[in-house]
Structure 1
Amino acid sequence: MTVKSNNLKYYGMNGEISNKCGDKDDVETDTDNADGTLCGWFHIRPTWLQYFNTASWLAATLGVLMFVQGLAINGFVYINISTIETRYNLSSTATGVIVSSYDVTVSVLIVFVSYFGATRNKPLILGSGAVIMGLGSLVWALPQFTTGLYEYDSGHEGDGLCHLDGNSTDATDCTKEQETLSYYFFVFVFAQILYGIGASPIYTVGYAYIDENTTHAKSAWYMALLSACSVFGPTTGFLLGAVFLTIYVDVGYQDSVTITSSDPSWVGAWWIGFLIAWVLAWLIAPPMAAFPPELPGARAFQHERGSEAHYNEDSELLKTRADFGRGWKDLWPATKMLFKNPFYVFTTISKCAMAFVVGGLLPFITKFIENQFGLTSSEAALVLAVTALPGAAGGTLFGGWFVKKARLTVRGIGIQCFLVTAIAICLVPVFLLQCPQQSIAGVTASYNVSDSSPVTEVNIENACNIDCGCHGTETYDPICGENDMVYFDSCHAGCMDTSDDGEVYYNCTCIDTGDGSSSSQAVSGTCSVYCWQLLAFALGFFVILFLGFSLYAPMSLLALRCVPYQQRAHALGISSILYRCLGSVPGPIVFGAVIDSSCLVWQEQCGKTGSCWIYDNHMFAVKIVVLSAIGCGIASLAYALAVCTYRPPPDTEIETETETEDDSRCE
């Protein structure tokens, strides 16, 4: 079908066609193929829909899709994972497999999706991915509607005090098993696999799609906006998830519940967030799929902009193969070309190193803040929210804006990344800031307050509580004695009486005040701690987040611009699988193992080791600093090598367009 050029003006140009958007031959070509640049579904292409056929609306739609992806996968999944453990009798190992199954799925699929997505209908692939991602959210929520009501333990029959007859509390019933619930492990894994299938094209095909339909300068800004959307998604997921978890899981039975949200047996309405993500994903799918494979004026941008791909012998080969990358036979040659590009290899190594640090640290940052500064989980989450949202979002926007404002070339972006990672190394020691670790009887301090010698062996049992019948480290319920020492629980403090609300304990035989008093008291919880280091850490952590996320858009731009046009989506795909396999997948495992090595007191229940109750805070911080510094150091070195080995194409004319009214019309 042939469409007149005046229709082209209406369908996406928003103004007259000028030479800025291409020469006469280009315009005629676009006109002859205008049917392929119209918005719509199948043969339905209404006139009013063409108003949205611009790069700005494309970026907005893709941004919403990235927001929904982050909301569900990096938001609701992470904040609800411990609740899932409690509700469905799953171990931490099992939930770790559930979380990892998403990255494994993406790693397996992303090469094929990005390779073939480069030459197929990109918006249709993205829209289909949104549908599959929504189905994954629905599967995540499904167990709530296929199981009975939640049955919780309201506590042990005992009162948790020291009873000299040795019957302080009843031990946990270790023979009680609910194997049927644990089978839902496979349902959650399947949901994560659906997430992986649906999300795999977003950060490869999606980035390539927006980059090839706009100018170099505006591409950087759009990348920053899209990256910001991907940051806002998880943040919103954490905030909404925290609210939903204060609602009882079986919402119709909230009034009959005898426990509160602070009780370890409490299970919140974890499933509400996934239903919201399901609806949002299916709502954004039709608008995403409505965009054409190529926006009006896109060929003019592609014709105008000079290539900045690293130059080698393969560059000339690609010029003679217009159909390169359209079949399976080209998959391995295309991949080999990427690995023969040293600039691409070194920037990918940098991305892997940064993914290792960020992916390894973020899952444990709340735990880190809690332990280093003596805060509760909610207080630590508040500190994280205040620093993370402005730091991550602001850094993401700034990184893209700076590339656009400074009109940086590939070499310039590489230098920017090198400087940022080098500065980050200097800031990593901020993690050494900590409040003085509290004195914990039998763990970090002796039960005898007059004994100032360091504890050589952790042992919460003492002569003062040996006959109390305490049940080891099954449950950590700390109390603060009037001597400002923390005790593992009221039983290990030798407390024999308590107030009706369980907030104050009396006649605690293990609390040594140094004056020979036999009626020592304690209050529930750890001793209050305040120190100036918390504010300094919050400021330093904000700067680290700002700098780290300022690399978000530039790193993606480097992967796009340092390779030939035909290989952009494939380059993002290979980069993605490598930084997942070498960075974001092993990062949490390595960080978790190193952090566990700093544990002083482990949970012991039914003969099995659970989570860590108390850490050696100094070693915790030192190991975090060492791992982070190594990762940032590798990234910085790799960026330096990338800049040194970069060879621009001969006679390249780098795009230096001036943003005028004509530019906006082209988009």
Structure 2
Amino acid sequence: MASKRRNMFHKNKTQETTENDTARLREEKRELEEESRGEGGTVHQSGGVGGGGLRHLPKALLALFSNPTFILVCMAGCCEGALMSGIAAFLPKILENQFGLSPKYAASFLGSVILPSALAGTVFGGWTVNFCKLDLAGILNMCLICMTCAMICVPGLFIVCPTQPLVGITAPYLENENRVGEKEWRSLWSDCNKDCKCDVSRYMPVCGIDKHLYYSACFAGCTRETTESLTNCKCVGGTEEAVETWRSADCTVPCPLFPLFIVLIFCYQFFTFSVIVPGTAAVLSLVGLGKGGGGKLLQDGSFEVHFAAC
């Protein structure tokens, strides 16, 4: 009789425990559903978000702006994005001025070095996060290491090579060579091009047979220009034939540091783009999946505002 009563007690105890666990699981499920609705609106089975989430928008924005790690990640992305935009915009002119490359070769350089390095960096960043199973701390450490390596490569932009004299800026026109004072000849205009009505805002350097760079074909005094030759260039020194017919010559100066410049630019682009995928993963981890879209929107929007202000 005592044994039967004991078995009934254990049976009732087990049923009570099971009911408590079931109730607890239901309560947790209900809380998770409420949290999902609070973060993203009313979640339907189709995956859409209802309009109920708008009333939670101020609370979600406050949570994002009160997250210091998220703010710092956004600031780092803004600064690096502005630097990348500046390099992309002015790197062709840097190549033309510091290394004497023609616009055609400068564009070829950008296509053969910048694009492969950016692609390789993006793939490397995503592969590293996935292969190493990095958590949030690991992702942030990876971004810090990659950006440090990228900043080490930035001094490569200051590498210069000897360039040919730019007539009117660093060298006088042929007819002004006898003038002693530098202020007397430092001008883009001279007697040979005073009637050409040249536009100083159009910087299209050309190279003469005298191995001097001219600001443009107009400032070289060329009255006729075709795809293969420049004719009647009155400002170009050299032989008498140069005045009648002048073909564009090569002003490129051999530069032993140019390969180093290429390597540093490649490494800079590689390490910079290697943080794009980890940076996105960090934003999603910082703000949660429910607010990940808003966090990414704020990050991209802050970059646009920062870039416009600069």
For 1:528, the equivalent position in structure 2 comes to 251
TM superposition shift of 1:370: 3.3
For 2:71, the equivalent position in structure 1 comes to 345
**1:26-425 matches, cutoff 5 A:** 119=43, 293=47, 326-425=52-151
For 2:4, the equivalent position in structure 1 comes to none
| Matched letter for residue 541 of structure 1 | I
| Matched letter for residue 529 of structure 1 | T
For 1:551, the equivalent position in structure 2 comes to 275
Task: String of CA shifts for 1:473-509, please: whole Å, max 9, x gaps.
Answer: 276675533321133456654568x899872646x65
**2 CA distance for matches of 1:379 and 1:525?**
15
Matched, 1:431 2:153: no
TM superposition shift of 1:429: 0.9
**Larger Rg over CA atoms:** 2
For 2:284, the equivalent position in structure 1 comes to 560
For 2:304, the equivalent position in structure 1 comes to 580
**2 CA distance for matches of 1:432 and 1:118?**
55
For 1:571, the equivalent position in structure 2 comes to 295
Stretches of structure 2 that go unaligned for 5 or more consecutive residues are 1-21, 23-38
**2 CA distance for matches of 1:372 and 1:400?**
35
Is the contact made by 1:403 and 1:413 (CA closer than 8 Å) also made in structure 2? yes
* Cα distance, 1:504–1:339 mapped onto 2, change above 3 Å: closer
For 1:542, the equivalent position in structure 2 comes to 266
**2 CA distance for matches of 1:545 and 1:118?**
42
For 1:459, the equivalent position in structure 2 comes to 187
* Cα distance, 1:389–1:487 mapped onto 2, change above 3 Å: closer
**1 CA distance for matches of 2:125 and 2:168?**
49
| Matched letter for residue 410 of structure 1 | L
**1 CA distance for matches of 2:108 and 2:94?**
13
* Cα distance, 1:442–1:324 mapped onto 2, change above 3 Å: same
**1 CA distance for matches of 2:222 and 2:72?**
61
**1 CA distance for matches of 2:203 and 2:79?**
36
Is the contact made by 2:284 and 2:292 (CA closer than 8 Å) also made in structure 1? yes
- Which segment is superposed worse, 390-399 or 362-371? 362-371
Using the size of structure 2 for normalisation, the TM-score is 0.71
Task: String of CA shifts for 1:248-267, please: whole Å, max 9, x gaps.
Answer: xxxxxxxxxxxxxxxxxxxx
More helix, by proportion: 2
- Which segment is superposed worse, 520-529 or 427-436? 520-529
* Cα distance, 1:324–1:336 mapped onto 2, change above 3 Å: farther
TM superposition shift of 1:556: 0.3
For 1:487, the equivalent position in structure 2 comes to 214
For 1:444, the equivalent position in structure 2 comes to 170
**1 CA distance for matches of 2:280 and 2:44?**
21
| Matched letter for residue 462 of structure 1 | S
| Matched letter for residue 373 of structure 1 | F
**2 CA distance for matches of 1:494 and 1:118?**
72
| Matched letter for residue 74 of structure 2 | T
Stretches of structure 1 that go unaligned for 5 or more consecutive residues are 1-24, 26-114, 122-291, 295-322, 591-667
* Cα distance, 1:511–1:451 mapped onto 2, change above 3 Å: farther
Task: Specify the SS of the correspondent of 1:562.
Answer: helix
**1 CA distance for matches of 2:74 and 2:67?**
11
| Matched letter for residue 149 of structure 2 | I
Is the contact made by 1:480 and 1:523 (CA closer than 8 Å) also made in structure 2? no
Is the contact made by 1:420 and 1:548 (CA closer than 8 Å) also made in structure 2? yes
Is the contact made by 1:325 and 1:334 (CA closer than 8 Å) also made in structure 2? no
**2 CA distance for matches of 1:476 and 1:578?**
34
| Matched letter for residue 355 of structure 1 | G
**2 CA distance for matches of 1:328 and 1:360?**
37
TM superposition shift of 1:333: 0.7
* Cα distance, 1:369–1:405 mapped onto 2, change above 3 Å: same
* Cα distance, 1:480–1:334 mapped onto 2, change above 3 Å: closer
TM superposition shift of 1:378: 2.9
Task: Specify the SS of the correspondent of 2:246.
Answer: strand
Task: String of CA shifts for 1:531-567, please: whole Å, max 9, x gaps.
Answer: 2333322221111111000001000001011123422
Task: String of CA shifts for 1:333-389, please: whole Å, max 9, x gaps.
Answer: 111011121111111111121222223332333333333333333322211111122
**2 CA distance for matches of 1:338 and 1:494?**
61
TM superposition shift of 1:405: 2.1
| Matched letter for residue 248 of structure 2 | G
TM superposition shift of 1:431: 0.9
| Matched letter for residue 332 of structure 1 | P
- Two-structure CA RMSD over aligned residues (Å): 3.7
For 2:8, the equivalent position in structure 1 comes to none
Using the size of structure 1 for normalisation, the TM-score is 0.36
Is the contact made by 2:231 and 2:246 (CA closer than 8 Å) also made in structure 1? yes
| Matched letter for residue 392 of structure 1 | A
* Cα distance, 1:511–1:578 mapped onto 2, change above 3 Å: closer
* Cα distance, 1:505–1:576 mapped onto 2, change above 3 Å: closer
- Which segment is superposed worse, 403-412 or 354-363? 354-363
* Cα distance, 1:375–1:118 mapped onto 2, change above 3 Å: farther
Percent identity, please.
25
Is the contact made by 1:444 and 1:454 (CA closer than 8 Å) also made in structure 2? no
For 1:256, the equivalent position in structure 2 comes to none
Task: Specify the SS of the correspondent of 2:71.
Answer: helix
Task: Specify the SS of the correspondent of 1:327.
Answer: helix
* Cα distance, 1:479–1:385 mapped onto 2, change above 3 Å: closer
**1:518-667 matches, cutoff 5 A:** 520-521=242-243, 523-525=246-248, 527-530=250-253, 531-583=255-307, 585-586=308-309, 590=310
**2 CA distance for matches of 1:452 and 1:405?**
68
Task: String of CA shifts for 1:16-53, please: whole Å, max 9, x gaps.
Answer: xxxxxxxxx9xxxxxxxxxxxxxxxxxxxxxxxxxxxx
